[in-house]
Structure 1
């Protein structure tokens, strides 16, 4: 199977990592990962889509994986993530790509569909909805949630560097050591706050809306109201599937994406 190739670029002033597979002349699909994770979640599906004739580009969102956060602060809203993906698309000069994503990635896809419908060929939202429910977890990114732990991590880095080390280098080292907890809780805060239901009619491009039959994060009512609000929606429920279709059933997910984009 063809392996993905890693790249770096600068988006919104921050070092951004992404992987790609496929030829630049092929139709392009951007794939977005879930909360607190990174683009490795698409490593099984992306090569399969390449064999179907697609170019797949998988970025790490700011602060995730090998991408640094913008101004060293994690994004705490779906819209901020979505606008970053839009800027990423513009930076790479991608012409009318399709965009897919799972979980917060699915919410990001719907935010892009509402705000930039003319810029994408199609939107494929897995395990996302017009609004999503969750606990208010943003506060858990504060050190009080794990008393002393973030301070220990920070001090262990800053105290062991030379006095002459620039502050920017210290901030980078701190982020490298304690980022996962911080970005994950802020992602989930964005998930809890996400609500574009009153604007779904503005998503005038074709939308594939997918949920797993065993995914309790997407309830029947929010799934149905998203279907009802979108002008051009193809809803699919994947049986024997939970919250991560691209990891649980890579082949079925690939076929679903291929068939929708072909249609």
Structure 2
């Protein structure tokens, strides 16, 4: 028996055109799944149908500025908290009542940030390859034109010089289509480096599943352990032979793990 298919749609959030894919019955408990830095929702294409078969309505957005979603006001998010507040607004725009939020890497950090700031509004959080505090290089500077002199100008002028009288809004859209991926990815990684909600972990009162791949060096033992100590309602899982992308590396194991956790926490 084949798995159900993800179907793509658009919704307007914060006056911005946002792309998402969904699968599962609309009457089933909703789960919002979030991708990693600079990526898009296709990373969940193996797990989402299996969660739908387990009885969940799975919704997978491309975060603003990623994939087929445009950035809000043509400015990329520069913090995990901005991503989190968007996810809350996105869920509201779709009418999702107390969804579970699942994510990996910056998506996992976003799920945890939602749990910290909006615990009563969600049913649970699945935090994969993230922690209360995450470490990384300060790469946001690479989104600035001075980091790679000329590359943005070349793309901008190619748009400006090759279009007619389309107006500034349409021209800005064309610019983003050419240059957006680098800006989104580097600012995601900067947000990862800046992320720290360790002092607020006690506010994440909803059930949290904290998942780590044993082969992932991006999440260290100390930050993982401190996150476990700070969360009031947490289950943990360490996946042998898995690195930073569990939903891509071991989708069957992740589907079983997440659906089992949600069955106990949400239903």
Report the TM-score, using the length of structure 1 for normalisation: 0.98
CA distance in 2, matches of 1:151, 1:2: 44
Distance 1:55 1:165 in 2: 40
Report how many aligned residue pairs link the two structures. Answer: 262
Kindly indicate whether residue 84 of structure 2 is the aligned counterpart of residue 82 of structure 1.
Answer: yes
Where structure 1 has 5 or more consecutive residues not aligned to the other structure, the ranges are: none
Measured in 2, the distance between the counterparts of 1:71 and 1:170 equals: 14
Whole-Å separation in 2 of the counterparts to 1:182 and 1:65: 12
Q: Give the aligned partner of residue 250 of structure 1.
A: 251
SS, match of residue 208 in structure 1 = strand
**Is 1:236 aligned with 2:237?**
yes
Superposed counterparts of 1:161-180, under 5 Å: 161-162=163-164, 164-180=165-181
1:72-115: CA deviation from partner (whole Å, max 9, x where unpaired): 01001000000000000111111111110000001001100000
1:47 is matched with 49
Q: Deviations over 1:25-47 (max 9, x none)?
A: 11111000000000000001001
Provide structure 2 residue ranges, at least 5 long, that are not aligned to the other structure.
Answer: none
Shift in Å at residue 146 of structure 1?
Answer: 2.2
Looking at structure 2, the residues matched to 139 and 145 of structure 1 have their Cα atoms a distance apart, in angstroms, of: 7
The residue correspondences of 1:1-263 to structure 2 (distance < 5 A) are 1-162=3-164, 164-263=165-264
CA distance in 1, matches of 2:215, 2:102: 20
How far does residue 262 in structure 1 lie from its aligned partner after superposition?
Answer: 1.2
Cα deviation, 1:159-206, whole Å, max 9, x if unaligned, reads 1011x2210010000000111100000000100000000000011010
Distance 1:125 1:96 in 2: 17
Cα drift, residue 145 of structure 1: 2.3
TM-score, structure 2 as length reference = 0.97
- Equivalent position SS for 1:145: coil
Structure 1 runs, 4 residues or longer, greater than 3 Å off: none
Instruction: Find the residue that maps to 1:214 and give its secondary structure.
Output: coil
The whole-number CA distance in structure 1 between the counterparts of 2:221 and 2:209 is: 16
Tell me the distance in 2 between the aligned counterparts of 1:201 and 1:190: 22
